[in-house]
Structure 1
Amino acid sequence: MAILEVGPGVELYYEDEGQGTPVVFIHGVWMSSRFFKEQIPYFKREHRAITLDLRGHGRSSKVEDGHTIKTYAQDLQTFLEKLNLKDVVLVGWSMGAFVVWEYLKLFGEGNVKGKVIVDELASDFKWPDFPIGAFDLATLTHFMREVQENRVEFLKGFLPLMFKSELSEAELEWMLEETTSPPVGVASAILFDQSVVDYRATLPSIQSPALLCFGREEKLIPVAAGEHLKRNLPNAELVLFENSCHCPFLEETDRFNEEVARFIQKL
């Protein structure tokens, strides 16, 4: 457990264990590195397993500015540089996938051995020519207002949608603790930005191998999102998790870890 400064007043909390290929896990909007608690013990045995909290999230600095996918990607670049991480595997879950694509768009693939995309679309927004998007304007507006006016109750309803099976009270409790960590203004700002970025035009230019991990349950993200990525991302492999929704790394931990390890081994 450590802290790394990536900008003036911006310190990122991270955990870094093991030796070998650096595998960097990047969480979703409002979430934190704690959601990857089942990955560090497994991957540190043969790899260098790294989780971090993005700015404003988890145990990182609660700065008020910079809550865009672009800035998060710039933070990631500084993080990799300061830790001298080479030939990394980036694992982006949900919003973390957007951070990965923005990173590749800004900084290229020279330092990326491969990428794992977990249950995310090329864009979350339902653009006129992208009907599989997760949010239309009315839904996004509702979410923005709920975050401002009714966050805890909203999250009590939203978090269970990430899972196929029912959450226990203990699970819901720690997830609520993590997802209410970002200040409300931060939560609103990054929700908007991550919901309207669009990487459809970027995908065909990304050449490094990709593993696409999607839950079969479609409470949030349709399987069609994974199929769309597979068609548009060169060198992409799609794996479906039959007993998962949005979080296969928690819902089918063993299989997720094994599939990612297999993918890394092939690189």
Structure 2
Amino acid sequence: MRTTILGVVCALALGLATAQAHAEPALQVLGSNFIFPNRIKGLPAKLSEFTDLQINRFVTNDGVGLSYWEAGQGRPVIFIPGWSANGAEYVNVMYLLSPHYRVIVLDPRNQGFSERVPYGSRIERFSMDLKELVDHLGLQQVDLCGWSMGASVIWGYIDLFGTQGIRKACFADEPISIYSHDDWSEQERLEAGGTTTSAERMVAGMTRGEPLNSLVTDLKPWARFQLKDSPAFLNSEAFAEAFIKNDPEAIGRVLFDHVTNDWRDVIRHRIDVPVAIFSGEESNNLPSQRWAAAVIPNATLYSYSSAEQGDHFLMFKNPIKFTDDLRGFLER
């Protein structure tokens, strides 16, 4: 999940998209360079240093223009962002991985530079969008990595299409079922990662600013986001805020469906490829990630310490460690 409304862009008019692929250098699409606020060894100081970053697009079978960020060559790795997130936030992750892989980040419908539409706001449609991206790129085999709601999109993909064509998968800190059923034991709640018994109040709080408390949703991601304790995270957030604006109503359409899905059957029965699961001791999702790692055959859990930024935003707060660990998993 994300906790900010991101800054504005007018450079991309995807409502006029055609069915043909459209690829442009990121600097050309964005219309200007960007200087990152913190200089960090091994990461770009300005966007122009990321010379092969592109922002591309295609059109789905229901007529929606979707953008995807792309860089590098080699074996393809597709990232699916979490709720309200976008490819701009992956700039450090892409920069670190693109010398080794063809790295692709999909902007889900109603997010990032993808088109805003009043339909298709269900995880299963997001999963179909992912399938259409894979087909559009002509990929026979791919590694998939989903953060937060992006992991749910992969679970929906596997539920619909199986694992054929998936070489390996990565899930980062996504509860198995955000909605906590009132007849669950505490152990069942922890294993599923349930944090709310009122999807309506959770959605209202996250999209309309209505009051939230720990009985409505997990507040720790908000607290960890506000720490501003990672220069790399501040860089990627500043970049996203400079160029992208979310529409709260548009991103809110998928949230109820996202909250009420229960993926325990997919986790337990449908995943038969090697899996990496990322979480940490500063995430209340960690018990559910341990459960998933225990029931998925050939799964590896990467649990980051507090000092390693082991919270919901670990891949953005600690991109060097995350990409090192992900590469180790992908190359194993």
Question: Shorter-chain TM-score: which interval?
Answer: 0.7 to 0.9
Match of 2:228 among 166, 172, 178: 166
Tell me, in whole angstroms, the C-alpha distance in 2 between the residues paired with 1:14 and 1:142.
Answer: 32
**3-state SS of 2:177 partner:** coil
**3-state SS of 2:265 partner:** coil
Tell me, in whole angstroms, the C-alpha distance in 2 between the residues paired with 1:106 and 1:179.
Answer: 31
Q: 1:98 to 1:162 in 2, by over 3 A?
A: farther
Quick check: 1:106 aligned with 2:160? yes
Cα deviation, 1:211-256, whole Å, max 9, x if unaligned, reads: 01102203xx331011110112111000111122101111221110
Q: CA deviation at 1:150?
A: 2.9
- Structure 1 gaps, min length 5: none
TM-score normalised over the length of structure 1? 0.87
Q: CA deviation at 1:100?
A: 0.5
Letter in 2 for 1:247: F
Q: CA deviation at 1:23?
A: 0.5
Quick check: 1:210 aligned with 2:275? yes
Percentage identity across paired residues of the two chains:
24
Cα deviation, 1:124-174, whole Å, max 9, x if unaligned, reads: 121233312343223x333322345338x99xx986435484358966666
Cα deviation, 1:7-32, whole Å, max 9, x if unaligned, reads: 34311111121111110010001111
Tell me, in whole angstroms, the C-alpha distance in 1 between the residues paired with 2:69 and 2:208.
Answer: 33
Letter in 1 for 2:256: F
Tell me, in whole angstroms, the C-alpha distance in 2 between the residues paired with 1:135 and 1:187.
Answer: 20
Correspondence 1:62-73 to 2 at 5 A: 62-73=116-127
Q: 1:170 to 1:233 in 2, by over 3 A?
A: closer
Cα deviation, 1:57-111, whole Å, max 9, x if unaligned, reads: 0110001100110000001101100111221110000000000011011111111
- Aligned residue for 1:119? 173
Correspondence 1:16-165 to 2 at 5 A: 16-127=70-181, 128-129=183-184, 130-132=188-190, 133-138=193-198, 140-150=199-209, 160-163=222-225, 165=227
Greater radius of gyration (CA): 2
Letter in 2 for 1:232: V
Q: CA deviation at 1:5?
A: 0.9
Tell me, in whole angstroms, the C-alpha distance in 2 between the residues paired with 1:72 and 1:185.
Answer: 17
Tell me, in whole angstroms, the C-alpha distance in 2 between the residues paired with 1:177 and 1:192.
Answer: 28
**3-state SS of 1:254 partner:** helix
Letter in 2 for 1:208: V
- Aligned residue for 2:286? 223
- Aligned residue for 1:232? 295
**3-state SS of 1:7 partner:** coil
Quick check: 1:192 aligned with 2:256? yes
Deviates more, 1:172-181 or 1:36-45: 172-181
Q: 1:147 to 1:175 in 2, by over 3 A?
A: farther
Deviates more, 1:93-102 or 1:157-166: 157-166
Cα deviation, 1:170-202, whole Å, max 9, x if unaligned, reads: 666666678851x33333221111111111011
Letter in 2 for 1:135: T
Tell me, in whole angstroms, the C-alpha distance in 2 between the residues paired with 1:179 and 1:227.
Answer: 34
Q: 1:217 to 1:188 in 2, by over 3 A?
A: same
Q: 1:105 to 1:170 in 2, by over 3 A?
A: closer
What is the number of residues matched between the two proteins?
Answer: 259
The answer as to whether partners of 2:271 and 2:296 remain within 8 angstroms in 1 is yes
Tell me, in whole angstroms, the C-alpha distance in 1 between the residues paired with 2:147 and 2:301.
Answer: 14
TM-score normalised over the length of structure 2? 0.71
**Cα RMSD between the aligned structures?**
2.6
